[in-house]
Amino acid sequence: MVTLYDVAKSAGVSPKTVSRVMNGDGPVGKATRESVEAAMQALGYVPSSAARALRSAKSGLIGVVSGAISYTDDNPLLAGLPEIYILRGIQDVLDEKRLTVLLTDTGGRADAAPRLLHTLAQHRVDGTIYVAPYHQQVDLPPPTSVAAPLVVANGFADDATSAVVPDDYTGQRALVDGLIARGHRRIAYLQLPHALLATQHRTRAYQDAHRAAGLPLDPALVIVADRIDGDAEARTATLQHAIEALLATSPLPTAICCGNDRMALAVYGMLRARGLRIPDDISVAGYDDYRLISETLYPALTTVALPYREIGRQAARLLTEPKAEPRRICVPGPVHWRESVATIA
């Protein structure tokens, strides 16, 4: 490997001068600079960040702990994509700051985190972003000797740890407000399991929207329609029952809010199997703006975007532009109104 010493020798200067050329600290004569740059070019010199990190205690690495990649396989409730977008957002910011992502994966087991943080510590990351698979409170291992700052994305830990989470309340509220504004009065809500924080926030938003509009809340219209455990078949059955219960109410709801786009996709099929047209007979909305589904479905699906990329960006900024005190940021996502929702005259 070509080292800085080789460059120095080739350019006929001292190693320190080469260092100055690279880092721009200290003054360097024009002629010297040019000969050094020529030598670097000619030799194909690539500086060693290991050596640099050793001396300067800055690795230029940001550790990311994620379960995304694993969850895609194992936990069908989670699409896996969220963390991908979050990762993209992180990279957006880190690219500008010339930092590189050191990626570690929990393999779906949260108890792998201590090991991963230890690995990151070995590499002396300048900071760590812990990406939660979905909006939740996460248990972090005690901040042992790992002094590097830590931010949680898509979840939160404790008051001492900065975090960035999606604003589930605002998203669902905007959706239901919009449905009401479009003339809907009986709006069903097929919830994800209550265990999810997102469900709690969104349910509150659903209720508040009704109250704000002076509409009654019919408990028959709010049904849990998915489950965390169980295979695809069991989950389909759960949804099936929910739809049947819904279609047994009277008068029928004019709109159905689904816990996510995946559920909306299944709902399309089930409603059609019963001869209902979307949106003529009944409107359908999702959540996530999982574009692969929302844009491809016919008619295209109205849904609330989850601002994952922005969550990643915010998390990276929080980490690299350290403020005095820990912060918690709530990022709202817009509603994408598409053809699956009709306006009632």
Burial class (CB in 10 A: 0-12, 13-18, 19+), 324: exposed
Give 46 or 212: the residue with its C-beta nearer to DNA.
46
CA–CA gap between residue 65 and residue 103 (Å, rounded): 6
Angle, helices 4-11 vs 15-23, to 10°: value is 110
Are β-strands 335-336 and 302-305 bridged in parallel, bridged antiparallel, or unpaired? antiparallel
Residue 141 in the binding site for a second copy (CB under 8 A): no
Q: What angle do CA 326, 327, 331 make, to 5 degrees?
A: 155
In the bound state with DNA, the residue whose beta carbon lies nearer, of 43 and 330, is: 43
Q: Minimum distance between the CB of residue 149 and DNA, rounded to whole angstroms? A: 19
**Alpha carbon distances (Å) from 234 to 108, 222, 227, 237, 261:** 22, 20, 8, 5, 18
List 47, 60, 193, 230, residue binding DNA (CB under 7 A): 47
Of the candidates 220, 249, 298, 322, which one interacts with a second copy according to CB under 8 A? Answer: 298
Answer with the entry of a second copy, DNA, none that 19 interacts with (C-beta below 5 to 8 A by kind).
DNA
The reply to whether 29 sits near DNA by the rule CB under 7 A is: yes
Q: Are strands 255-258 and 100-105 parallel, antiparallel or unpaired?
A: unpaired
Q: Which of 334, 333, 303, 316 is nearest to 164 (CA)?
A: 316
Question: Is 274 a residue that touches DNA (CB under 7 A)?
Answer: no
Question: By CB under 7 A, which span of 51-59, 202-210, 239-247, 276-284 interacts with DNA?
Answer: 51-59
- Give the separation between CA 322 and CA 29, rounded to whole angstroms: 36
Residues that bind a second copy (CB under 8 A): 1-2, 43-51, 53-54, 57, 59, 61, 64, 68-70, 72-73, 76, 79-81, 84-85, 87-88, 91, 95, 100-105, 107, 118-119, 121-124, 144-147, 232, 236, 262, 265-266, 268-270, 272-273, 290-293, 295-298, 300, 309
Residues that bind DNA (CB under 7 A): 1, 3-5, 12-17, 19-20, 22-23, 25-29, 31-33, 45-48, 51-52, 54-57
